[in-house]
Amino acid sequence: MTNKSATKTESQELLPEGWEMVIGLEIHVELATATKLFSPAQNSFGSEPNQNVHPVCLGLPGTLPVVNEKAIEFAARIGLALNCTVQKCVFARKNYFYPDMPKDYQISQFDEPLNIDGWVDLPVAGTRIRVERAHVEEDTGKTTHVGDSGRIHDAGYSLVDYNRAGVPLVEIVTHPDIRGPEEAKEYVDEVRAMVVAVGASDGKMEEGSLRVDANVSVRPAGSDELRTRCEIKNVNSLRSIGRAITYEAKRHVNLYESGKEPIQETRHWDEEAGRTRDGRKKEDSDDYRYFADPDLVAIDPTPEWIAQIAASQPALPAQRREALVSAGADSEGAALVVQRDLDSLVLAVIEAGGEAKRVLNHATNNLAIEGAEALSPSNFADLVKMEADGALTSTQAKQVLAEMVSDGSTPADIAAKHGFEAMDTGELEATLDEIISSSPQEWERFVNEPEARGKLQGFFVGQVMKATRGQADGKLVNQLLAKKANS
Ligand code: ADP
Ligand code: MG
């Protein structure tokens, strides 16, 4: 896998000639534990404000944090999925003042994180994105600035909700290996699928359980320098990640091309305006005065514990795609089916005798995700066999499948109910012959005027469909037309 060939084009298409994008992503993943990282307060989304709060979350005097073992297990599962080394780690205090964090420090990990040196391979871009670290930390509370813009500078007052304070997070940091918005989106989507697959998070971007900060800079294409970057916050969907990166990279190129330079800062993505806006100047890590938290001991996972976690990892998206490909799927279809979480159904249908290509086609184009898990694999396989035998046209098969989901009947019953019957080739040929003899001029042109053939083909297929009330197999009609024209 190389980074250059696949990605140069994406950067080149979007930026003026001679520039390429350099992107590193930080993904915050909220872990799906029952309770918070250091307290017994409940970890749940959507409660009334300030309901899930314990004295530890507020750092009240006399309280002491106790590490949630399940959070460490989830974090290690994420680390292993990312091909990281899971190692001894130390919690550190990251000191800064903000009302959403009443301790005045956030418990994070600094120079000894739990997971280091991993990678993610992207199936579509064909690139490998190196993961620098995936550390454990607590989330902060949430402030709402009440005023027209929702931003602090013109707010009348601010409200603070500590339900999220102390919720366990894993922060996954890449090396600056990403070269374009599509690659960035694919990386986020793959990581999202991984954390969901290992059961560590629900991965819902819309609820904030997966949040992305994008670090963006540009450089002359092909060079390996690292120029000044900006960190973009507030990108809440895959779509805005792509838009924000493209906007920011273009802004940097414009600055350089007009003899100026970007400054290192945190910027906010404004989805409505379609642009980034300047925020605060970026702190250096020195400003946070990190030091090991004296209230917590180091965590030193034993090789046995790591091996046990590794042995009980659920199948990862890459393995699930591979299983489909070995069962006869093409790689693009496999990616889609795993993304739609329909892979175990598809494998079962293929196992029950359904032809892989047709099963994939239904699973990617004709099947709604909701309700699909109720389908019986053997009924689904029977449908595919009926279609392959020519007993159902593809349009009919699609309709039968939809009804199988809604009422659970067998494909044979549904087809019989609608009068979808096999039309054998002989019957179809006879119908076609009648149509040809009643439209001699059209047929004459179909045979002798190659430029009119496409249009007239539509005419003849339409006539056959009309005569057979849609029961003819369109593909077979086309084959018969070609055969007759050439004979
Ligand atoms: P910080 O300590 O400020 O968070 P890091 O060095 O940890 O900074 O990097 C944060 C993120 O920024 C990483 O994902 C990294 O890959 C990315 N990054 C670093 N330098 C650049 C650059 N020049 N252009 C784009 N991204 C960068
Ligand atoms: Mg950082």
DSSP state of 285: G
Ligand nearest to the Cα of 232, by number:
1
DSSP 6-20: HHHHHHHHHS-TTEE
Q: How far is the CA of 402 from the centre of ligand 2 (A)?
A: 47
Q: How far is the CA of 391 from the centre of ligand 2 (A)?
A: 60
Q: Is the dihedral of CA 271, 216, 245, 23 positive or negative?
A: negative
pLDDT, residue 422, reads: 60
Written as six digits, the tokens of 229 are: 């970057």
pLDDT, residue 6, reads: 47
Amino acid letter, residue 464: V
Contacts 24+ apart (CB under 8 A), 335-343: 335/123, 335/124, 336/364, 337/363, 337/364, 338/193, 339/189, 339/193, 340/364, 340/369, 341/369, 342/367, 342/369, 342/372
- Alpha helices (runs of H) in 15-169, residue ranges in sequence order: 55-58, 69-81
Q: Is any atom of ligand 1 closer than 6 Å to the C-beta of 340?
A: no
Q: Is 218 exposed, middle or buried (0-12, 13-18, 19+ CB in 10 A)?
A: buried
Contact indicator for 348, 327 with CB cutoff of 8 Å = no
| 307 and 328 share one domain | no
- Give bridge partners of residue 108 from the DSSP assignment: 92
Q: Is any atom of ligand 1 closer than 6 Å to the C-beta of 173?
A: yes
Task: Give the H/E segment covering residue 109.
Answer: strand 105-109
Best residue among 172, 229, 265 to mutate for probing ligand 1's pocket (most ligand atoms within 8 Å of CB) is 229
Q: Is any atom of ligand 1 closer than 6 Å to the C-beta of 319?
A: no
Ligand nearest to the Cα of 285, by number:
1
Contact indicator for 188, 158 with CB cutoff of 8 Å = no
d(Cα 62, Cα 76) in Å, to the nearest integer? 30
CA atoms within 13 A on the CB side of 294: 0
Contact indicator for 397, 363 with CB cutoff of 8 Å = no
- The atom of ligand 1 lying closest to the CA of 25 is 14
Written as six digits, the tokens of 96 are: 């800064």
Written as six digits, the tokens of 8 are: 């140069």
Domain end call among 418, 439, 456:
418
Q: Is any atom of ligand 1 closer than 6 Å to the C-beta of 219?
A: no
Q: Is any atom of ligand 1 closer than 6 Å to the C-beta of 174?
A: yes
Q: Is any atom of ligand 1 closer than 6 Å to the C-beta of 226?
A: yes
- The atom of ligand 1 lying closest to the CA of 283 is 3
Ligand nearest to the Cα of 25, by number:
1
Q: Which residues contact 44 (CB under 8 A, 6 or more apart)?
A: 52
| 305 and 338 share one domain | no
Q: Is any atom of ligand 1 closer than 6 Å to the C-beta of 192?
A: no
pLDDT, residue 343, reads: 95
Q: How far is the CA of 301 from the centre of ligand 1 (A)?
A: 28
Contact indicator for 412, 392 with CB cutoff of 8 Å = no
Q: How far is the CA of 86 from the centre of ligand 2 (A)?
A: 19
Written as six digits, the tokens of 429 are: 């040929």
Structural domains of the chain, count: 3
| 135 and 26 share one domain | yes
| 389 and 433 share one domain | no
| 342 and 455 share one domain | no
* pTM of structure: 0.83
- What residues in the chain have per-residue pLDDT under 70? 1-9, 280, 282-283, 422-423
Ligand nearest to the Cα of 106, by number:
2
pLDDT, residue 153, reads: 78
Contact indicator for 368, 405 with CB cutoff of 8 Å = yes
CATH of the domain at 469: 1.10.10.410
Q: Is any atom of ligand 1 closer than 6 Å to the C-beta of 215?
A: yes
| 282 and 226 share one domain | yes
| 110 and 51 share one domain | yes
User: Which protein residue's CA is at the shortest distance from atom 13 of ligand 1?
Assistant: 24
Domain end call among 418, 440, 469:
418
- Angle value at C-alpha 13, between 8 and 18, nearest 5 degrees: 65
d(Cα 372, Cα 140) in Å, to the nearest integer? 38
d(Cα 89, Cα 110) in Å, to the nearest integer? 9
Q: How far is the CA of 427 from the centre of ligand 1 (A)?
A: 69
| 124 and 24 share one domain | yes
Written as six digits, the tokens of 388 are: 């392959």
- The atom of ligand 1 lying closest to the CA of 26 is 14
Q: Is any atom of ligand 1 closer than 6 Å to the C-beta of 265?
A: no
| 19 and 98 share one domain | yes
| 121 and 178 share one domain | yes
Q: Is any atom of ligand 1 closer than 6 Å to the C-beta of 134?
A: no
Ligand nearest to the Cα of 283, by number:
1
| 365 and 285 share one domain | no
Best residue among 129, 213, 215 to mutate for probing ligand 1's pocket (most ligand atoms within 8 Å of CB) is 215
Q: How far is the CA of 21 from the centre of ligand 1 (A)?
A: 13
CA atoms within 13 A on the CB side of 324: 28
- The atom of ligand 1 lying closest to the CA of 177 is 16
pLDDT, residue 472, reads: 81
pLDDT, residue 465, reads: 86
Q: Is any atom of ligand 1 closer than 6 Å to the C-beta of 176?
A: yes
Q: Tokens 């918005």 — which residue?
A: 181
| 239 and 104 share one domain | yes
Q: Tokens 């349009």 — which residue?
A: 395
d(Cα 94, Cα 108) in Å, to the nearest integer? 7
Domain end call among 293, 311, 329:
311
Q: Is 42 exposed, middle or buried (0-12, 13-18, 19+ CB in 10 A)?
A: middle
Read off the pLDDT of residues 413-447 as tens digits, 9 standing for 90 and up. Answer: 999 888 887 667 788 899 999 999 999 999 999 99
pLDDT, residue 203, reads: 95
Q: How far is the CA of 213 from the centre of ligand 2 (A)?
A: 9
Q: How far is the CA of 26 from the centre of ligand 2 (A)?
A: 7
Q: Domain range holding 403?
A: 317-418
d(Cα 432, Cα 401) in Å, to the nearest integer? 29
